[in-house]
Structure 1
Amino acid sequence: MTSDIKKLIAIIEQQLDWGDSSAWQSRDFEILSQLIYDKTKVSLSESTLRRIWGRVEYKHLPSATTLDTLAQFAGFESWRTFIKQNTDKAPLIKTNILPVKQSEKLGINVTYLILTVVLIATGVVSFFIIKRSDPQINAADYKFSSQRLTNAIPNSVIFDYNAKNAPDDSVYVQQSWDPHTKTLVDKKMHQHTSVYYEPGFYQAKLLVGKKVVKQHKLIIPTEGWLGLIEDKPVPVYLNTQDFIEKDMLNLPVAVIKQKNMSMQPKPTYVKYYNVGNFRPVPLNDFNYCAEIKSGYKEGEAACQFAAVALITDSGPIIIPLSIKGCVSELTLFNVDRIISGKTANLSGFGVELSNWVKVSCKSTAKTIRYYVNDKQVFEFQLPANNVKIVGIWFGFQGTGAVRNIELKGQDKTVFKAF
């Protein structure tokens, strides 16, 4: 591994603040894979990340695409930009060394000896002081709750906290499992307000240093259907008449251009949400289906990436689709499992998305089964914990349409649209 790659890895580790990467587990690399995809829209598999982090022996250098993606995730425009900004070019400094007399050498040596003894003594004392005052963090000493201000998006959430017993000022409120949403707060205060720009299920956390002392579930709902075009830091929100038609959800390319959003060279990413508008459906007894169609395949949108997703009060279910030739870039999410097209056969999710495609999934006694055009293409074991479905969303690279949406729980229709 080159020194430049090591520098980039160190920057990412510092941003994540997950502790020593040698202690990371498989789940950490799965989460990192999703974080990278969320920010860059490029999928790097868990196995790829494990190779880069040296957890798997691999003699070849990462591809240019992989390096560009990691650099973009770290906040740089590209790998080349990162190299330019982080190349060490410190000039050599010439110094004029004057000859030192023997008596002066003796004095210098004595001075160094005294200084060394003082530093060692100071270090020993400091060690015992630090060791003796090593703080013990008791989660019971902290309080953390929240209240959202509206059912609309964007949505401000007021966090109430009590962290007065924190041993130092390293107190943070984190909006979700994503460490990029962490904010330093004053331990002497009791409230902090955050804005959520997209709906969904979040696990809000109160941290002292790197330790999570309190956390709770937080659902950010929508008022009916919400459509948006992804943009940073704030999405472009759509009026209902922009994307809701009589018999489908559909955002025409012309409307996207009216919003001053460019389709080239990087195509937009469009999402349709409906969260918190039906009773929660247990994951161990559900049936869900919808029909989708891509509405754009020009330039970099040639793969026609799309996603059909269920929001749960745990991890998400995300069913990815693309044309056959791009299934290697897909990532399938099943609450607590992530499967990459780099390491598994996801060819069943490769379809002709210029036509209507039926996507469905349902639970049996022990499994969740996934279907594309009524053909089973994958299955997972049900999670052991009690998980409930609280919302749905659809995503398209470029744009797309959705119809015939239906969610059932215990064979009864809970939600239906178009």
Structure 2
Amino acid sequence: MSTYKNHALVKKCLLRIEEKLGWGDATEWHSDVFIELSEVIQEKTNVLLSPTTLKRVWGKVNYTNAPSISTLNTLSQFAGYLNWRDFKNKVEDQQTSKTYKFEKDQKKIFAYAAIIALVFISLFSVINGVSDKLEDFDFSALEFESRPIVKGLPNSVVFDFNLKGLDSDSIYIQQYWDVTKTIKLEPNQSQATGQYYYPGYFRAKLLVEGDIKKEHDLFIKSEGWLGTIDYEPIPKYFKTSEIIGTHLKLPDFALLDIQNMENPVQSSFHLVDDFGEISGDNFLLETAFRNSYKDKWAVCQTTKIVILGTKGAMIIPFSIPGCVSDINVLLNDVYLNGKQHDLSAFGTDLSDFKDIQIQTENKTVKVIIDGETRFMKRYNVSIGHLVGIRFRFLGAGEVDYLKLTDSSNKILVDTDFKSK
């Protein structure tokens, strides 16, 4: 059992979240619930807490370290507070109020209030002291760059920076949107390294006292098609030559591994590359895929197409009709939860190949299944330039073909995945 400081307060915050969600007893939540919770929290806070991080906080994984302050801030924001400090203060105030109701000794009441006042005065003095210490520092002169060590995955990235003259004991690099993926820095440090297990277009941030002072883009390409079984924390990789044959698919031995898994696992195919300055808000994706494993925990045949941009992403999900309550749609700034919206348009039997078209035109997304327009929705914030496509299967799946065309009908990708 976790015994870290503030554990009781963290449990209260989690209880607020459980009450807000109304998803039932958290002791019954399985892995898919934490995947969905990760997506819901990201939609509300614009911060991604990985399913693994959430499992740790909820005690589903044996992990006794205290959650990071970034994780606590995000959970508190999702629960309806400004940050972790705001949550702590308001919960403690509520507890104090209850104590007051039963407290008859007025001297004790005033003494307790005085102590609280002193705590707040001390806290604000510390905060103001930190602010005074940093206000004269020229953050515009801070250097912050990165460079991948190799091509492909997994990949270590070297961060170069200059912190000379910066007097702070709270300097971190946040590797990408997951606020738990941070690297603590010392004031005299000039280099650090970070580990990346998936391809993507990331935004690395240099944080000082919790504030973003520098950030830049970090592009890790897949170097052709890359297959993964998304084990945690480290996936299993499959090169292009191992997954392309009659279709884009995992090798037979990998399918056997998935079938023998007792707990749910996802597998993915990634194509992350520089397509040029192609708008992610104006393109046509045509494909056909099927889910090749639907036993045990994969009965829903859940499959997602993830479209990656330089400024955001879209997630288009599919499942059998009876499971659409458990899927969610993400169109960059627009999030549709299957528990709160009718997503039956995405329900289809994926036992056989389905022809799918996803068309975006001026930030309006249209989804067509076997020639029938099933869904149309507008979003507001551009995803930037197109940089990647992912097929993600609960269990495993196969892709028959992929054609990707820009708004001028220029073909970016056109393959039937047949071995040459």
Common fold: TM-score over 0.5: yes
Residue of structure 1 aligned with 2:334, choices 332, 337, 340: 337
Secondary structure, in 3 states, of the residue corresponding to 1:150?
coil
In the other structure, the counterpart of 1:204 is 204
Give deviations 1:290-346, integer Å, cap 9, x for gaps. Answer: 111000111111111111121111111111111111111111111222211111111
Distance in 2 separating the partners of 1:208 and 1:264: 42
Letter of the 2:167 partner, please give it.
P
Following TM superposition, by how much is the alpha carbon of 1:366 offset from its aligned partner in structure 2, in angstroms?
5.1
Letter of the 1:174 partner, please give it.
Q
In the other structure, the counterpart of 1:411 is 409
Distance in 2 separating the partners of 1:130 and 1:197: 37
In the other structure, the counterpart of 2:59 is 76
Alignment of 1:2-401 (within 5 A): 7-8=10-11, 10=13, 40-43=34-37, 46=40, 72-74=55-57, 76-77=59-60, 131=128, 134-135=131-132, 136-137=134-135, 139-246=139-246, 248-252=247-251, 254-257=253-256, 263-276=260-273, 278-365=275-362, 367-385=364-382, 387-401=384-398
Instruction: Confirm or deny: 8 A CA contact 1:293 1:354 kept in the other structure.
Output: yes
Instruction: Confirm or deny: 8 A CA contact 1:290 1:359 kept in the other structure.
Output: yes
Aligned in 2, Cα 1:188/1:333: closer, same or farther, shift over 3 Å?
same
Letter of the 1:176 partner, please give it.
Y
- TM-score, normalising length from structure 1? 0.71
Moved more, 170-179 or 264-273: 264-273
Letter of the 2:414 partner, please give it.
K
| Gaps in structure 1 of 5+ consecutive residues | 14-20, 22-35, 51-67, 82-116
Distance in 2 separating the partners of 1:124 and 1:77: 38
Distance in 2 separating the partners of 1:306 and 1:129: 50
Aligned in 2, Cα 1:338/1:325: closer, same or farther, shift over 3 Å?
same
Distance in 2 separating the partners of 1:347 and 1:158: 45
**RMSD between aligned alpha carbons?**
3.8
Following TM superposition, by how much is the alpha carbon of 1:400 offset from its aligned partner in structure 2, in angstroms?
0.3
Instruction: Confirm or deny: 8 A CA contact 2:229 2:266 kept in the other structure.
Output: yes
Secondary structure, in 3 states, of the residue corresponding to 1:72?
helix
- TM-score, normalising length from structure 2? 0.70
Letter of the 1:8 partner, please give it.
K
Secondary structure, in 3 states, of the residue corresponding to 2:359?
strand
Letter of the 2:323 partner, please give it.
C
Secondary structure, in 3 states, of the residue corresponding to 1:176?
coil
Compare CA radii of gyration and give the structure with the larger one: 1
Instruction: Confirm or deny: 8 A CA contact 1:293 1:400 kept in the other structure.
Output: yes
Instruction: Confirm or deny: 8 A CA contact 2:172 2:185 kept in the other structure.
Output: yes
Distance in 1 separating the partners of 2:182 and 2:149: 20
Following TM superposition, by how much is the alpha carbon of 1:167 offset from its aligned partner in structure 2, in angstroms?
3.5
Secondary structure, in 3 states, of the residue corresponding to 2:131?
coil
Give deviations 1:73-98, integer Å, cap 9, x for gaps. Answer: 5162279x9xxxxxxxxxxxxxxxxx
In the other structure, the counterpart of 2:21 is none
Aligned in 2, Cα 1:376/1:187: closer, same or farther, shift over 3 Å?
farther
Following TM superposition, by how much is the alpha carbon of 1:262 offset from its aligned partner in structure 2, in angstroms?
5.7
Letter of the 1:326 partner, please give it.
C
Instruction: Confirm or deny: 8 A CA contact 1:278 1:415 kept in the other structure.
Output: no
Distance in 1 separating the partners of 2:176 and 2:127: 32
Aligned in 2, Cα 1:5/1:374: closer, same or farther, shift over 3 Å?
farther
Following TM superposition, by how much is the alpha carbon of 1:198 offset from its aligned partner in structure 2, in angstroms?
0.5
Instruction: Confirm or deny: 8 A CA contact 1:262 1:268 kept in the other structure.
Output: no
Instruction: Confirm or deny: 8 A CA contact 1:37 1:44 kept in the other structure.
Output: no
Instruction: Confirm or deny: 8 A CA contact 2:160 2:190 kept in the other structure.
Output: yes
Distance in 2 separating the partners of 1:322 and 1:358: 14
Distance in 2 separating the partners of 1:371 and 1:122: 60
The percentage of counterpart residues that share the same residue type is: 27
Secondary structure, in 3 states, of the residue corresponding to 1:264?
coil
